[in-house]
Chain A
Amino acid sequence: MLELRNITKVYNPGTVTEQTLFRDFSLSVEEGQFVSIVGSNGSGKTSLLNIICGSIPVEAGEVLMDGKNINKLKEYQRYAAMGRVYQNPAAGTCPGLTMLENLSLADNKGKTFGLSRGVNRQRRDFYRQQLQSLGLGLEDKLDVKMGALSGGQRQAVALLMATMTPLKFLILDEHTAALDPKTAEIIMELTDKVVREKKLTAMMVTHNLRYAVEYGDRLIMMNQGQVVLDKAGAEKAATSIDDILEVFNQISIECGN
Chain B
Amino acid sequence: MTDLLIGTLTQGLVYALISFGVYITYSILDFPDLGVDGTFPLGAAVTAVLLTKGVDPWLTLPIAMLVGGLAGLFTGFIHVRLKVRNLLAGIITMTALFSINLQIAGSNLTVDRGTDTIFTSAPVMALMGDANNMTRKLVVSLVLILVVKLVLDLYLRTKSGLLLRAVGDNAGLVTSLAKDKGRVKILGLVIANALVALGGCVVCHEQRSFSATMGTGQLVYGLAAVIIGISLMNYYSASPLARGLRKHRGLGWLASPAGTTAVILGSILYKLCIQLALSMGLPANMMKLITALLFLLVLVLSGRKGEEIIHA
A interface residues, Cβ below 8 angstroms from B: 74-77, 79-80, 83-84, 86, 90-97, 101, 104-106, 108-110, 112-119, 162
Residues of A within 8 A of B174 (CB): 76
User: Size range of the interface on B?
Assistant: 20 to 34
**Residue with the greatest number of chain A CB neighbours at <10 A, chosen from B165, B166, B177:** B177
Within 8 Å by CB of B175, from A79, A96, A114, A118, lies A79
Q: Is B161 an interface residue (CB 8 A)?
A: yes
* Overall SS of chain B's interface: helix
Q: Is the pair A97, B181 in contact by a Cβ cutoff of 8 Å? A: no
Within 8 Å by CB of B177, from A79, A86, A115, A118, lies A79
Q: Is the pair B157, A91 in contact by a Cβ cutoff of 8 Å? A: no
**Known contacts A79-B176, A83-B176: does B158 contact A115 (CB below 8 Å)?**
yes
Q: Is B253 an interface residue (CB 8 A)?
A: no
Q: Is the pair A115, B169 in contact by a Cβ cutoff of 8 Å? A: no
Q: Is B160 an interface residue (CB 8 A)?
A: yes
Q: Considering the complex, which residues of chain B in the window 145-187 have a beta carbon less than 8 Å from any beta carbon of chain A?
A: 155, 157-163, 165-166, 168-170, 172-181
Within 8 Å by CB of B162, from A75, A92, A105, lies A105
| Cα(A119)–Cα(B179), bound, Å | 18
Q: Is the pair B159, A114 in contact by a Cβ cutoff of 8 Å? A: yes
Q: Which residue of A lies closest to B157 (CB)?
A: A118
B interface residues, Cβ below 8 angstroms from A: 155, 157-163, 165-166, 168-170, 172-181
* Overall SS of chain A's interface: loop
Q: Would you mind naming 17 contact pairs between A and B with Cβ atoms under 8 Å apart? A: A76-B178, A76-B180, A79-B176, A79-B177, A84-B176, A94-B170, A95-B169, A97-B169, A104-B159, A105-B163, A113-B160, A116-B159, A117-B157, A117-B159, A118-B161, A118-B162, A162-B176
Q: Is the pair A76, B181 in contact by a Cβ cutoff of 8 Å? A: yes
| Cα(A230)–Cα(B159), bound, Å | 44
Q: Is the pair A118, B158 in contact by a Cβ cutoff of 8 Å? A: yes
Q: Is the pair A115, B160 in contact by a Cβ cutoff of 8 Å? A: yes
| Cα(A90)–Cα(B172), bound, Å | 10
Q: Is the pair B173, A92 in contact by a Cβ cutoff of 8 Å? A: yes
| Cα(A80)–Cα(B179), bound, Å | 9
| Cα(A104)–Cα(B155), bound, Å | 16
Q: Which residue of B lies closest to A111 (CB)?
A: B159
| Cα(A65)–Cα(B163), bound, Å | 27
Q: Is the pair B179, A75 in contact by a Cβ cutoff of 8 Å? A: no
- Measured between C-beta atoms, what is the minimum distance from B2 to chain A in Å? 41
Within 8 Å by CB of B159, from A79, A86, A106, A115, lies A115
| Cα(A95)–Cα(B169), bound, Å | 7
| Cα(A90)–Cα(B169), bound, Å | 11
Residues of A within 8 A of B162 (CB): 97, 101, 104-105, 113, 118-119
Q: Is the pair B166, A97 in contact by a Cβ cutoff of 8 Å? A: yes
A113-B160, A118-B158 are known; give 4 further A-B pairs, CB within 8 A: A76-B174, A92-B173, A97-B162, A117-B157
Q: Is the pair B165, A96 in contact by a Cβ cutoff of 8 Å? A: yes
Within 8 Å by CB of A110, from B157, B178, B180, lies B178
